[in-house]
Amino acid sequence: MKSLRYILSLLALAVSCSLWAAGPATATREAITHFFDANTGDLKAELADAKAANKKAVLLMYEQEGCPACLYMKQNVLNRVDVQELYRRHFVSFTVDINGAVPLKDFGGRDVTEKAFASSAKARATPTFAFHDLNGTEIVRITGAVRDVGEFKLLAEFVASGAYKTRQFAEYKQTQSNKKGG
């Protein structure tokens, strides 16, 4: 019994040492409740709320059930506290199921389903990240999972800074990479 306690204490020490050596863990929390805003189903009203809150844009993530890239984004990027804080500072963010039957009011106030809205937006692949200005006009669209957290944070900076008005995201990424010496 004594040797079992000794082995367990050595194991606990080894685990804590390996965690310390790995450095501080990046804080994460559930994406659905901490990255995305509660959707009222009225995108026109959400625009008004975004304007009142001095947000830069509305972000829609088009998704569908069983989408591996959507799951990847939620489990590896959108769950990061630093990403959540950055996006919440600048945007209101919602999901739209491209096959969903949930009713909503589009940016023009028309009654549609999520599926009809996604179809009219030509969002077929998932995930698709579409940023809309505060008038409801789409300003930036990225289709597919982004490479990593750094790229997704750079996307937020690209839109929030207004850089999208003068160049494409690929150009912006290259410029930022050159500035950092990479």
DSSP state string for 32-79: HHHTSPPP-SBHHHHHHHHHHTT-SEEEEEEE-TT-HHHHHHHHHTTT
Q: How many CA atoms lie within 13 A of 97 on its CB side?
A: 12
Share of the chain above pLDDT 70, in %: 85
- pLDDT digits 0-9 by tens, 57-114: 999 999 999 999 999 999 999 999 999 999 999 999 999 999 999 999 999 999 999 9
Cα 119 to Cα 27, 41, 100, 124, distances in angstroms: 36, 17, 11, 7
Whether the CB-CB separation of 172 and 154 falls below 8 Å is answered with yes
What are the chain's domains?
A: 28-179 (3.40.30.10)
Q: What is the pTM of this model?
A: 0.84
